[in-house]
């Protein structure tokens, strides 16, 4: 794998002196992918979910692993956790059985002896993780429900931001546009459905879209290419990376952006443009940390306590409040404020 040499890695903009990268490769089962460790220490494991997705090339998969693992370090730092950030990406290959791919992936996890603790991200569900848990103990998100807590963290964050922008934290009558109604989008709908006014939804998976619409019939379906253009209070990117880019940023019609997707911003310049357009961007890794908080809790404690997890997740509101106040005071994008705080914490680690 020559893309893993230090000189090749340095050419990737996503490379940030990552501690190590594991190349996943088993030609017999079709497993191919990477586990990238951004930060780790000898005494504590690194946390990061596993993504199972179609990638055009190994390079593309590696870049996703690099940027997602870096973001996990930022997320962990901002959530007050002492764990390093990592991420696994598996290249979906429909010529092979997914079950076999995941089985051989769990063998790699076992070889890492607990240095990497993982769970579900895009493309994986609870049942698959449960099955893997039969051969591997380094999986989390089985007792807790990370998607639910991710949605709760975003919900409490939106309340804080709304207080600043709409002068009330009461979300009654608010309007939303949700890009991607997968696991997190669905959990979020449960929280807002009753009190919301218009809720626009989109998903590239029509079967999923139909399923969600049947459960939440007052949602309004729009094409994936139109979702970010809706005139709403809150736009929620809950799909994949870089939804906020040079093109889409000029088409936004919302007051707040607050979603679950990791790496929503194509660049920090996009965050500045959002700020100039008078739209509040809630930093992804700050408000979507509920899932991480819940799985870390599951890892640390034998007994499951929804209250303990909820208490942990609700602390996100203090972090987002601090960022919001600072952003208003200095008229700087919340993304820049959050990065500055996170980097200070990471450098002290
Ligand atoms: P998921 O795979 O269950 O849902 C993602 C949905 O987005 C899918 O239904 C997919 O069809 C849809 N989608 C993909 N591209 C799209 C596009 N261009 N337009 C509209 N829809 C599109 O994943 P998830 O677990 O709900 O996670 C969603 C995002 O939130 C991901 O970026 C993930 O990394 C991030 N995240 C998830 C968690 C968690 O607890 N699961 C925690 C933090 C962050």
DSSP 279-290: -EE--HHHHTTH
Q: Is the pLDDT of residue 2 over 70?
A: yes
b/e code 247-257 from CB counts within 10 Å (16+ = b): ebbeebebbbb
Task: Tell me, yes or no, whether 161 and 35 share the same domain.
Answer: no
Residue 203: domain span: 146-288+315-347
Task: Tell me, yes or no, whether 322 and 260 share the same domain.
Answer: yes
d(CA 127, CA 78): 30
306 CB-contact burial (10 Å; exposed 0-12 / middle 13-18 / buried 19+): middle
Q: Are strands 31-37 and 84-91 parallel, antiparallel or unpaired?
A: antiparallel
Residue 296 covered by a domain: no
pLDDT in tens, 321-339: 999 999 999 999 999 999 9
pLDDT grade for 349, boundaries at 50, 70 and 90: confident
Nearest CA to 188 among 291, 76, 335, 286? 291
Domains contained in the chain, number: 2
The CATH number of the domain where 17 resides is what? Answer: 3.40.50.10860
The mean pLDDT of 312-329, rounded to a whole number, is 98
The mean pLDDT of 13-28, rounded to a whole number, is 95
- To test the ligand 1 pocket, which listed residue (53, 118, 155, 182) has its Cβ within 8 A of the most ligand atoms? 182
d(CA 71, CA 38): 9
pTM of the prediction? 0.95
Identify whether the C-beta of residue 47 lies closer than 8 Å to the C-beta of residue 118: yes
Task: Tell me, yes or no, whether 110 and 183 share the same domain.
Answer: no
**What's 250's DSSP letter?**
G
- To test the ligand 1 pocket, which listed residue (68, 154, 157, 240) has its Cβ within 8 A of the most ligand atoms? 240
Residue 190 covered by a domain: yes
pLDDT of amino acid 144:
87
Identify whether the C-beta of residue 238 lies closer than 8 Å to the C-beta of residue 259: yes
Q: Is the pLDDT of residue 347 over 90?
A: no
**Domain final residue pick, 108, 132, 156:** 132
Q: Is the pLDDT of residue 45 over 80?
A: yes
Task: Tell me, yes or no, whether 108 and 189 share the same domain.
Answer: no
The mean pLDDT of 279-289, rounded to a whole number, is 98
Residue 52 covered by a domain: yes
Residue 299 covered by a domain: no
Task: Tell me, yes or no, whether 25 and 102 share the same domain.
Answer: yes
The CATH number of the domain where 247 resides is what? Answer: 3.40.50.720
Q: State the alpha helices, DSSP H only, in the chain.
A: 6-9, 58-78, 98-111, 126-133, 146-165, 183-192, 206-215, 268-276, 284-287, 290-300, 306-314, 316-330, 334-348
pLDDT of amino acid 1:
63
Residue nearest to atom 12 of ligand 1 (CA): 180
Count the Cβ atoms, other than its own, within 10 Å of residue 214: 9
Task: Tell me, yes or no, whether 334 and 218 share the same domain.
Answer: yes
Q: Is the CB of 205 under 6 A from ligand 1?
A: yes
**What's 256's DSSP letter?**
E
Task: Tell me, yes or no, whether 206 and 128 share the same domain.
Answer: no
d(CA 151, CA 135): 30
Q: Are strands 31-37 and 256-257 parallel, antiparallel or unpaired?
A: unpaired
Q: Is the CB of 240 under 6 A from ligand 1?
A: yes
The mean pLDDT of 208-216, rounded to a whole number, is 98
Task: Tell me, yes or no, whether 169 and 25 share the same domain.
Answer: no
Contacts of 219 (CB under 8 A, 6+ apart): 189, 199, 200, 201, 212, 213
d(CA 19, CA 17): 6
Identify whether the C-beta of residue 83 lies closer than 8 Å to the C-beta of residue 55: no
Q: Is the pLDDT of residue 309 over 80?
A: yes
pLDDT in tens, 101-123: 999 999 999 999 999 999 999 99
pLDDT grade for 6, boundaries at 50, 70 and 90: confident
Whole-number average pLDDT of the chain? 96
Residue nearest to atom 32 of ligand 1 (CA): 261
Q: What percent of the chain has pLDDT over 90?
A: 95
pLDDT in tens, 265-277: 999 999 999 999 9
Nearest CA to 162 among 252, 228, 229, 233? 233
pLDDT grade for 3, boundaries at 50, 70 and 90: confident
Count the Cβ atoms, other than its own, within 10 Å of residue 140: 24
Q: What percent of the chain has pLDDT over 70?
A: 100
The mean pLDDT of 134-148, rounded to a whole number, is 94
Q: Helix, strand or coil for residue 128?
A: helix
The mean pLDDT of 3-12, rounded to a whole number, is 90
pLDDT in tens, 194-207: 999 999 999 999 99
pLDDT in tens, 237-265: 999 999 999 999 999 999 999 999 999 99
Atom of ligand 1 nearest to the CA of 205: 11
- To test the ligand 1 pocket, which listed residue (239, 243, 292) has its Cβ within 8 A of the most ligand atoms? 239
Task: Tell me, yes or no, whether 44 and 103 share the same domain.
Answer: yes
Residue 179 covered by a domain: yes
Identify whether the C-beta of residue 43 lies closer than 8 Å to the C-beta of residue 84: no
Cross-strand pairs, 147: none
pLDDT of amino acid 295:
97
Residue 79 covered by a domain: no
Task: Tell me, yes or no, whether 279 and 152 share the same domain.
Answer: yes
Task: Tell me, yes or no, whether 184 and 221 share the same domain.
Answer: yes
Residue 305 covered by a domain: no
Atom of ligand 1 nearest to the CA of 263: 32
Contacts of 349 (CB under 8 A, 6+ apart): 39, 41, 77, 82, 84
Residue nearest to atom 41 of ligand 1 (CA): 147
Count the Cβ atoms, other than its own, within 10 Å of residue 53: 17
Task: Tell me, yes or no, whether 184 and 327 share the same domain.
Answer: yes
Nearest CA to 183 among 140, 234, 122, 98? 122
Residue 302 covered by a domain: no
Q: Helix, strand or coil for residue 126?
A: helix
């Amino acid at each position: 794998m020559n893309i893993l040499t230090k000189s090749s890695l340095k050419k990737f903009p996503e490379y940030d002196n990552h501690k190590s990268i594991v190349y996943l490769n088993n030609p017999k089962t079709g497993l191919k992918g990477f586990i990238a460790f951004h930060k780790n220490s000898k005494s504590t494991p690194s946390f990061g979910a596993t993504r199972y997705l179609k990638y055009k090339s190994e390079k593309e998969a590696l870049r996703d692993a690099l940027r997602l693992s870096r973001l996990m370090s930022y997320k962990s730092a901002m959530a007050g956790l002492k764990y390093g950030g990592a991420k696994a990406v598996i290249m979906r290959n429909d010529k092979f059985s997914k079950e076999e791919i995941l089985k051989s992936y769990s063998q790699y996890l076992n070889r890492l002896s607990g240095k990497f603790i993982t769970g579900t991200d895009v493309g994986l569900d609870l049942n698959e993780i449960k099955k893997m848990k039969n051969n591997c103990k380094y999986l989390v998100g089985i007792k807790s429900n990370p998607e639910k807590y991710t949605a709760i963290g975003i919900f409490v964050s939106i309340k804080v931001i709304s207080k600043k922008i709409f002068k009330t934290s009461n979300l009654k009558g608010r309007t939303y546009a949700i890009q991607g109604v997968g696991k997190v989008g669905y959990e979020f709908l449960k929280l807002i459905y009753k009190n919301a006014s218009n809720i626009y939804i989109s998903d590239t998976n029509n079967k999923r879209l139909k399923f969600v619409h049947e459960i939440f019939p007052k949602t309004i379906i729009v094409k994936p290419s139109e979702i970010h253009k809706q005139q709403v209070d809150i736009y929620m990117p809950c799909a994949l990376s870089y939804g906020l880019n040079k093109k889409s940023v000029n088409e936004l019609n919302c007051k707040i952006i607050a979603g679950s997707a990791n790496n929503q911003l194509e660049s920090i310049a996009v965050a500045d443009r959002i700020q100039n357009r008078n739209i509040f961007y809630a930093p992804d890794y700050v408000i979507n940390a509920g899932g991480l908080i819940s799985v870390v809790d599951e890892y640390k404690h034998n007994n499951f306590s929804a209250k303990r997890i909820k208490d942990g997740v609700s602390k996100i509101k203090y972090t987002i409040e601090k960022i919001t106040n600072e952003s208003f005071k200095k008229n700087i994008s919340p993304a820049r404020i959050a990065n500055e705080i996170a980097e200070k914490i990471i450098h002290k680690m």
